[in-house]
Chain A
Amino acid sequence: MIVTYALIFAFAAVSLSLLLTMVRLVKGPNTGDRILALDTLSINAVALIILVGIAGATQIYFEAAMIIAMLGFVSTVAVARFVLRGDIIE
């Protein structure tokens, strides 16, 4: 019972933080802020997927969370390198 309420709270908090990150992504005055917002967005998406997995009491969503975590990191590094060097793999 207490887990249900905590789950609802965590859903609300993570969804709200996704929304706030989206605001920074749209507003962000320069490229660095946008890259940071995208990175945060992928991390929060991992949290949301794991919460869906807890709510459904299933392990199916684990791979999706893992792949989003990995691709989020790789894409952050790729965009940052593109801004820094004008090329991703030199």
Chain B
Amino acid sequence: MSPEILDIVIAAALVIGGLFTLVGSIGLLKLKAPMARLHAPTKASTLGVGSILLASVLFAYASGAPSYHELLIIAFLFMTAPVSAYFIGKVHIHLGQNRKPLPKPARDRIWATQAKHEEDTPSVPEMKADA
């Protein structure tokens, strides 16, 4: 690949990365509901950081000292983003921030994340059967 094309690819990756990171943070600030706010940074920001890391790999290749260990951070971030999103979503459910009440669990009386202590008193007063 000629150096000019490589430069253009690096610049495009940097610009895309910056834009996606910015979109993720704007979404984090502007969206209304907590569960909707969860979407923006976990997807857009992760993609943006991945693009910037890719630009770093290409830049190292272009400047004559190739190194691919930024791919390690990309893999790590892409693996951990869904896990942390899942945990934060569970925190939202635990604190009662979901928009609609949860459906009734199949076998148990209440969901485990809403149980208070040993005696399973429902933390939400009346759960509708299917809302």
Contacts and interface: CB of A to CB of B under 8 A. Distances in A.
Interface of A: 1-3, 5-7, 9-14, 16-18, 20-21, 23-24, 29-33, 35-37, 39-40, 43-44, 46-47, 50-51, 53-54, 57, 59, 62, 65-66, 69-70, 73, 76-77, 80-81, 83-84
Contacts of B25: 16-18, 20-21, 24, 40, 44
B95 A36 contact: no
Nearest to A74: B80
Contact of A30 (B18, B76, B97): B97
24 contacts: A5-B11, A7-B14, A10-B15, A10-B17, A14-B21, A17-B21, A17-B24, A21-B29, A24-B29, A31-B91, A32-B92, A32-B97, A33-B37, A35-B91, A36-B88, A40-B25, A46-B73, A47-B48, A54-B14, A54-B56, A59-B65, A76-B84, A77-B87, A84-B94
Nearest to A14: B21
A29 B34 CA distance: 9
A9 B38 CA distance: 26
Contacts of A2: 7-8, 11
B84 A6 contact: no
Contacts of A80: 84, 87-88, 90-91
Nearest to A11: B18
Determine the main DSSP class of B at the interface with A. Answer: helix
Interface of B: 7-8, 10-12, 14-15, 17-19, 21-22, 24-26, 28-29, 34, 37-38, 41-42, 45-46, 48-49, 52-53, 55-56, 59-60, 63, 65, 67, 69-70, 72-73, 76-77, 80, 83-84, 87-88, 90-92, 94-95, 97, 113
